[in-house]
Amino acid sequence: MSDDYLNEKWRSTTILSVRKNGKVVVVGDGQVSAGNTVMKAKTRKVRRVGGGNVLAGFAGATADAFALLERLETKLEQYPTQLARACVELTKDWRTDKYLRNLEAMLIVADADQTFVLTGNGDVVEPDEGIVAIGSGGNYAYAAALAMTEYEEDAETLARKAMGIADRICVFTNNNLTVETIE
């Protein structure tokens, strides 16, 4: 492989969270791409953390995302029933720690009551609509979910349909989905 190939920006992800009718779903596609090459089609970018009570999906550099998920687990152990506090504490560390500050990833984190997007800029954003997405196909999945929300009552069905639309539009997204749900 040429150095140019190895230095190309890795693009890989669409992560979507839908909260509706007492159910929260986090779904992620499975594609990892380098430039215009699909490197892997069945990657698992959505996980259960916090003893299975919290769903987390990641976009960005995989090793960085795993480092953040480990830190999130630690924060959830410190604040087991306070997802918002665990998220704020994680992002504070992410912004101020010399090592963590360089991590390139984003997270969607959800439990039975709340959903947040976490970034290295210190953002802990709770979406107004109960729908949020990140990654290269995130805007497509987000728009599709918003458009269908009044017509589809089931959160998982809505999320799967929206991801199907993102898959059709974004070349960095596929339909090999990992779906995690909390009711």
Q: Give me the active site residues, please.
A: 13
Q: How many CB atoms lie within 10 A of CB 29?
A: 31
Q: Which of 128, 122, 109, 143 is nearest to 28 (CA)?
A: 109
Burial category of 50 from C-beta neighbours within 10 Å (exposed 0-12, middle 13-18, buried 19 and up): buried
87 is in an annotated binding site: no
| Residue 173 annotated as binding site | yes
Between helices 62-78 and 83-96, what is the axis angle to 10°? 130
Binding-site residues from annotation: 170, 173
Binding-site residues from annotation for Na(+): 170, 173
